[in-house]
């Protein structure tokens, strides 16, 4: 007589973890698969492979957990187990001495506290989950690894162990972490130090945001996909001052949720066991017509004109007097020449590419080749995040902060302006002006949902030119998709979900300006009654 087997699946945002167990709870198979934004396609593939190794009548029961577990259980006549219950059950049965569970996946992180029951088991007593921010999750690390061209699976952890003194990097937001990384790269910080700094940033954020003053009791256990990263293991051990044996990594660290789902069903019994019917219903769902989610009204072109004319210098033997302005941001560098009537004589918009001095050298060289022999520079000023470095480099007469620079320019072009929204690569600003004087301002702090860096990264993934195609494509959409307006990493997940449902590029692109504007407006309108007489949008 052939044995029966229990099958457990933890369907997450990044991966599917699969276990096959016998009726005694012994693990026969443990596998980890990336789902690449298509969890149910990957689940079907896994099941079909399992059908090649086991006969259908050996499929005793299917247990599911994770973000996609509930729907999968409905489609495959399985049983869904809550993630907290699944994670804590696997620890309770296999590691009864553990008092704290640290679980980190692609987009979820959990801190679970366990109480002692007896020497053979423990039980769930309390838990905390991450909020609508991806800081402290695996996606945060994946995104940063991609930015610096390092394999998260093979190189990331090993590199981090080479660092003796990891630098401090922001762990609250992926975009702000990128800012810190750019600055570290500019001062020639070794890659292994940057990677280690990211690991410590994630661990530090997890402890501060989930523990919230609660004591992390030992022994603790670290599980989930991120626990495979030895750099993260080191960071937690150092920050928690863990001694030998205080922080455990389970043998099946990535599949503890799937294991727990099976063990929970074995312990509590399945109310109604159904024979495994194969993947027919799952296949119908994958290829069937699915809801495309909420959508917004189409975007309309702005009524105001954006003037970008370049003033042509009149022919003369005398040199034309101009003034040089440099705005050096984290993502882009602007170089401009204006005359004493504030007319633009020449301009360049270049990617900073972590090398601000090279960017301004290129921009100034191109402008010189264009009109350099016909003008004389009477003064120069710098602004932006790189204003001091580049100000010293060019010998600037003025170095001004971004609030002052933005407000000064807006007032010159429209003396009646009272509200400015400025959205750049990694910064967004609200400036309130009263009779030509700045009376209030705000900038984004620990979230980059209201900035443009996310737009550029996702446009590249969709093979869309952010400058030449993005705007026109957005205006051509008939039903902009509702991607949400919070964390950039979670918006990326929504993007993957909508792509699976067949939403067109135009409708995906059209929604992105909405979270940028709504996040910025909601944040500051709560404390400021915005006037509507004149509003300047720059950046």
The predicted model gives 491-497 an average pLDDT of 69
pLDDT value at residue 277: 86
Please state the rounded mean pLDDT for residues 74-91: 95
Of 9-13, 203-207, 462-466, which gets the smallest average pLDDT? 462-466
The two beta strands, 100-104 and 220-223, are parallel
Q: Which of 180-194, 420-434, 456-470 has the lowest mean pLDDT?
A: 456-470
Confidence of residue 29 (pLDDT cuts 50, 70, 90): very high
Which range among 15-19, 137-141, 306-310 shows the weakest confidence by mean pLDDT? 306-310
Q: Confidence band (pLDDT; 50, 70, 90) for 1?
A: low
Mapping DSSP onto H, E and C, the string for 214-270 reads CCCCCCEEEECHHHHCHHHHHHHHHHCCCCCCCEECCCCHHHHHHHHHHHHHHHHCC
Write out pLDDT tens, residues 38-48. 789 899 999 99
Residue 538 has pLDDT above 80, yes or no: no
Residue 515: what pLDDT? 46
| Residue 84, pLDDT score | 96
Q: What is the pTM of this model?
A: 0.70
- Return mean pLDDT, the chain: 84
pLDDT at 407: 94
- The string of pLDDT tens digits covering residues 453-482 is 777 767 766 778 887 888 888 888 888 887
Is there a contact between 142 and 134 (Cβ–Cβ < 8 Å)? no
The full set of domains in the chain, from first to last, is 5-95+255-287 (3.30.420.40), 109-249 (3.30.420.40), 319-400 (3.30.420.40), 410-539 (3.30.420.40)
What is the per-residue pLDDT for 539?
Answer: 37
Query: 401 or 14: whose pLDDT is higher?
Result: 401
pLDDT at 70: 93
Q: pLDDT at position 135, please? A: 63
Which pLDDT score, from 0 to 100, does residue 448 have?
A: 60
Mean pLDDT over 241-247 rounds to 95
Percent of the chain past pLDDT 70, that is, above it, reads 84
Q: Which residue has the higher pLDDT, 136 or 508?
A: 508
The SS3 assignment for 9 reads strand
Query: Is residue 423 scored above 50 in pLDDT?
Result: yes
Answer yes or no: is pLDDT of 260 > 80. yes
Bridge partners for 116 per DSSP:
122
- Return the structure tokens found at 300: 């309309």
* Strand runs labelled E in 13-89: 15-21, 27-34, 59-65, 79-80
Cβ–Cβ < 8 Å for 514, 296: yes
Instruction: Report CA-CA distances (Å) from 451 to 404, 407, 508.
Output: 20, 19, 17
Give, in order, the Cα–Cα distances in Å from 133 to each of 146, 446, 459, 486: 19, 10, 21, 8
pLDDT band, residue 229 (cuts 50/70/90): very high
Q: Report the alpha-carbon angle 525-520-106, nearest 5.
A: 135
For 289-344, the pLDDT digits (tens) are 665 667 778 878 777 666 678 999 998 889 999 999 999 987 789 999 999 999 99
pLDDT band, residue 26 (cuts 50/70/90):
very high
Cis check: omega of the bond before 219, within 30 degrees of 0: yes
Task: Find where tokens 């019994």 sit.
Answer: 269
Tens of pLDDT, residue by residue over 352-386, are: 876 788 899 999 999 999 999 999 999 999 999 88
What does the pLDDT read at residue 450?
A: 61
Nearest Cα neighbor of 309 from 350, 344, 348, 349 is 344
Structure tokens that stand for 43 in this block: 């689940």
Q: What is the pLDDT of residue 519?
A: 45
Rounded mean pLDDT of 172-194? 75
Does the pLDDT of residue 513 top 80, yes or no?
A: no
Predicted confidence at residue 534, as pLDDT, reads 40
């Amino acid at each position: 007589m052939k044995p029966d087997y229990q099958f457990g699946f933890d369907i997450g945002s990044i991966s599917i973890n699969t276990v096959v167990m016998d009726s005694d709870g012994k693990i026969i198979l443990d596998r980890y698969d990336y789902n690449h934004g298509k969890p149910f396609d990957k689940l079907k593939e896994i099941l079909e492979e399992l059908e090649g190794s086991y006969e259908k009548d050996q499929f005793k029961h299917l247990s599911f957990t994770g973000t996609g577990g509930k729907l999968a259980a409905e489609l495959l006549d399985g049983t869904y187990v809550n993630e907290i219950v699944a994670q804590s059950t696997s620890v309770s049965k296999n590691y009864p001495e553990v008092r704290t569970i640290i679980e980190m996946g692609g987009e979820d992180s959990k801190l679970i506290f366990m109480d002692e029951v007896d020497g053979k088991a423990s039980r769930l007593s309390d838990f905390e989950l991450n909020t609508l921010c991806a800081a402290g999750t695996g996606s945060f690390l994946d995104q940063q690894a991609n930015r610096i061209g390092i394999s998260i699976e093979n190189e990331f952890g090993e590199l981090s162990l080479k660092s003796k003194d990891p630098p401090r990097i922001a762990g609250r937001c992926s975009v702000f972490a990128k800012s810190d990384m750019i600055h570290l790269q500019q001062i020639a910080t070794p890659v292994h130090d940057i990677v280690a700094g990211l690991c410590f940033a994630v661990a530090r954020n997890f402890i501060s945001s989930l523990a919230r003053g609660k004591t992390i009791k030992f022994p603790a256990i670290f599980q989930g996909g991120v626990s495979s990263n030895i750099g993260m293991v080191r960071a937690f051990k150092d920050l928690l001052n863990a001694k030998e044996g205080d922080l455990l990594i389970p043998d099946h660290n990535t599949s503890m949720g799937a294991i727990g789902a099976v063990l929970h069903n074995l312990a509590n019994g399945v109310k109604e066991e159904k024979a495994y019917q194969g993947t027919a219903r799952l296949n119908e769902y994958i290829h069937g017509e699915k809801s495309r989610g909420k959508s917004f009204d189409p975007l309309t072109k702005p009524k105001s004109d954006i003037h970008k004319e370049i003033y042509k210098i009149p022919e003369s033997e005398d040199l034309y007097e101009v003034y040089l302005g440099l705005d050096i941001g984290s993502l882009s560098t602007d170089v401009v020449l204006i005359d004493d009537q504030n007319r633009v004589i020449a301009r360049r918009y270049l990617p900073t590419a972590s090398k601000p001095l090279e960017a301004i050298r290129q921009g100034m060289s191109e402008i010189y080749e264009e009109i350099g022999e016909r003008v004389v520079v009477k003064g120069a000023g710098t602004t932006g995040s790189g204003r001091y470095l580049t100000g010293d480099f060019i010998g600037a007469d003025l170095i001004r902060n971004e609030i002052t620079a933005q407000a000064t320019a807006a007032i010159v072009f429209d003396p009646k302006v009272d509200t400015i929204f400025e959205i750049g690569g990694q910064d967004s600003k609200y400036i309130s002006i009263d009779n030509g004087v700045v009376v209030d301002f705000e900038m984004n702090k620990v979230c980059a949902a209201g900035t443009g860096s996310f737009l550029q990264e996702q446009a590249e993934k969709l093979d869309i030119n952010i400058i030449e195609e993005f705007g026109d494509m957005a205006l051509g959409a008939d039903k902009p998709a509702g991607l949400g307006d919070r964390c950039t990493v979670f918006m990326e997940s929504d993007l993957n979900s909508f792509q699976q449902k067949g939403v067109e590029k135009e409708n995906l692109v059209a929604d992105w300006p909405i979270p940028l504007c709504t996040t910025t407006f909601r944040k500051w309108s709560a404390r400021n009654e915005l006037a509507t007489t004149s509003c300047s949008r720059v950046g």
